[in-house]
Amino acid sequence: MRFSLLIYSILLFFMSCCLCSCDSSEKTNRQYTYFGGEIVNPNTNYVVLSDGVGLNDTIQLDKNNRFLHKIENLKEGLYSFRHNPENQIVLLEQGDSVLIRLNTIEFDESLVFTGDGARKNNFLIDMFLQNETEREKIRRTGLRLSPSYFKRHQDSLLNFKVKAYKKFIDKYELSDLAKKLTQASFKFDYYTRHELYFNRRYGIAGLDSSKDLPLSFFSYRNNINYNDDELKRLYAYNRFLNFYFTNASLTNYSKEFPLYKNRIGSTIYKLNLVDSLIYHPYIKNNLLRRVTTKFLLESRDNIEANKVLSHYLSVSSNKKSQKELRKLSRAISRLRPNKIIPEQPLITSNGETIKLSSLFKKPITAFYFWSMDRKDHYIRAHKKASYLNTLHPEIDFIAINTDDEQTKNWLKTIKRHHYNLNNEYEFKYPKCSSEELVIHNRNKVILVDNEGKIINANTDLFSSVFEKQLMHYSRLANVEN
C-alpha cells in the first residue's frame, strides 16, 4: 500500500494527537491498528511484518521511503518487522498507531518509535541496547569475577532497572501485557547473564557449581514459565531458554556420563530435554532447530551430522524447519575437506560476471564475507585480511559481499575505502550462494587450494588460531609444490 506525503503527514499529526489525548478505553475501541514509518538509506523497497505463526505481510515503501499498514482483527503481542537483512520487534495492541523511524546504517541504535503505543516500544528498544552493552562487558571482563561478586554486581544493575521500570509504569498507563513484556525485557536478560557466566566458567575452568556458586545463584529458575506464549517472540526470553537448556543438559549429562566426551550423545540429550520440558509448539520447535543447527555447523563429518539430524527429525513437528535443516545438512556435507567448493557466479567491480573457480590462482585462496549493514565488521575484516596478506603473500584473500540488490552501494563502499578492486567481488545470487556456502557466521573464512579443493570451510577470520592454521596450510602447500 502506497501513501502520499500529504496523507502520511496527516496521519502522523493524527497519531501525535492520539498520543496526547486518547485514554486506553478509547484506544482499545478503535477498529484498526496501524504500523508505519520511514526508512532512511533503505536496503530494499519493502518491510515485512510477521507474528512468526501466520501473519507475514510485505509492506511496500513509497517514493519517500515511507510506509503505512492497517491491521484488522489484531492479535495483540510481539511482532517482528524486517528490513533486509535486519529485524527488530514491535509490541502492537488493539488501537495502536505506531510509527518507526530508523537509519539502516545504524539500525537498532537509530530506531525511534512515535505515535500511540510508542512509549512501551521505546522502553523495549532502550532495554535491548542497554542489555547488549552490559552483556558485552561481561564477555570482556565479567567472566573473571568471582561468583559472589558477579552476582552482587548483576543484582545492583537489576535493582536500578526495576526502579526505572516502576517509575515508567507509574507515569504512564500500560496494559497488563505491556507491563509484563517491558519487565521481562530486562529480567530475562539478568537471568541469561547468570547462565552465560556459569556456562563459560564451567566449560573453561571446570567450575564445581555446588561448591563455588552462591546458594541463590540460580534461585530465579524456580519461577520460570518455559512455555510462555506471550513471551515467545521476546529476544531476552529466547536467549535465556537457549542458555538454560545448554547448561541443564551440560550439568545433567556430565553427571550421568562423567567423561563428557561424546558430542553426539550430549546434543541428543539436550534435544530430549527440550522435548520433555517444552510443550508449546512454537517455543519447542525453535529451540530444537537452534540446537540442531549449531551442531550441524560445528560437525566434523557426515556420520555424526546425520545421527543428530535424524534424532531432531524424530522430535520436531515443524515441517518447514525439517526441510530447511535437511537442506543445510546437505550443503555442509558438500563443504567437507578435499571436496571441490561449489561453483558460484560473482560480479566484479567492472560489472562482469565470472565464476568462483576462476579465482584459484595461488596455492591457497581465502574467501571471507561481509555485508554493508555491519560497517564495524567489514572495516575490521578488510584490515585483518590485508595484514594477513602481508604475512602470507602466497595466499589470495578474496572479499565477497553478501548483500542482495546492493551493487551500486557496494561499489561506492569499496571505492570509498580504497579497497583493492581486484580482490573485491559480490555474489550474483546472494541468497542461493550464502546457503550453498553455509555463511551463517560473519567471520567465516573458506580456504581452498589452487584446484578448488576445500582445505577448511569453517574457520574464523578473527580466531586466535587462524594465523597458526595459515602457517600450517602454507607449509603443506609449499611442500606439495
Lowest mean pLDDT among 12-21, 137-146, 196-205, 312-321: 12-21
Type of residue found at 374 = R
Residue 16's pLDDT is 47
Residue 426's pLDDT is 96
**pLDDT-based confidence at residue 80 (cuts at 50, 70, 90):** very high
Residue 2's pLDDT is 40
> Is residue 86 pLDDT above 70, yes or no?
yes
The residue whose grid cell reads 519487565 is 183
50: left (phi over 0), alpha (psi -120 to 50) or beta: beta
Q: What is the mean pLDDT of residues 88-95?
A: 93
Beta strands 424-427 and 395-401, pairing class: parallel
**pLDDT-based confidence at residue 232 (cuts at 50, 70, 90):** very high
**pLDDT-based confidence at residue 207 (cuts at 50, 70, 90):** low
Residue 85's pLDDT is 76
> Is residue 42 pLDDT above 90, yes or no?
no
- Whole-angstrom Cα distance, residue 396 to residue 83? 34
Model confidence pLDDT, tens digit, residues 283-328 = 999 999 999 999 999 998 999 999 999 999 999 999 999 999 999 9
Burial status of residue 296 (CB atoms within 10 A of its CB: 0-12, 13-18, 19 or more): buried
- Whole-angstrom Cα distance, residue 308 to residue 7? 54
Torsion sign, CA atoms 295, 55, 85, 135: negative
The helix/strand/coil state of 76 is coil
265: left (phi over 0), alpha (psi -120 to 50) or beta: alpha
For the chain, count helices (H), then strands (E): 16, 15
Residue 478's pLDDT is 67
Torsion sign, CA atoms 220, 222, 225, 226: positive
- Whole-angstrom Cα distance, residue 360 to residue 356? 8
**pLDDT-based confidence at residue 210 (cuts at 50, 70, 90):** low
Greater pLDDT, 26 or 95: 95
Q: What is the mean pLDDT of residues 101-106?
A: 86
- Whole-angstrom Cα distance, residue 134 to residue 154? 10
- Whole-angstrom Cα distance, residue 391 to residue 366? 14
Residue 17's pLDDT is 45
On whether the CB atoms of residues 295 and 267 are closer than 8 A, the answer is yes
Lowest mean pLDDT among 129-133, 151-155, 247-251: 247-251
**pLDDT-based confidence at residue 47 (cuts at 50, 70, 90):** very high
Mean pLDDT (the chain) is 88
Percent with pLDDT over 90 in the chain? 66
Chain centroid offset of residue 173 CA = 32
Residue 126's pLDDT is 94
On whether the CB atoms of residues 335 and 458 are closer than 8 A, the answer is yes
- Whole-angstrom Cα distance, residue 454 to residue 300? 14
Burial status of residue 5 (CB atoms within 10 A of its CB: 0-12, 13-18, 19 or more): exposed
> What DSSP assignment string belongs to 206-274?
---HHHHS-TTTTGGGGG--TT-GGGTT-HHHHHHHHHHHHHHHHHHHHHHSTT---HHHHHHHHHHHH
Lowest mean pLDDT among 72-86, 205-219, 404-418, 442-456: 205-219
Lowest mean pLDDT among 53-57, 69-73, 145-149: 53-57
Residue 258's pLDDT is 56
Residue 7's pLDDT is 45
Kindly state the cell numbers that stand for 232: 515467545
Greater pLDDT, 410 or 205: 410
Q: What is the mean pLDDT of residues 87-96?
A: 92
Q: What is the mean pLDDT of residues 11-19?
A: 46
Residue 254's pLDDT is 66
Please give the backbone phi and psi of residue 41, each rounded to the nearest 5 degrees, phi first. 55, 55
Residue 323's pLDDT is 97
The helix/strand/coil state of 427 is strand
**pLDDT-based confidence at residue 262 (cuts at 50, 70, 90):** confident
Residue 3's pLDDT is 42
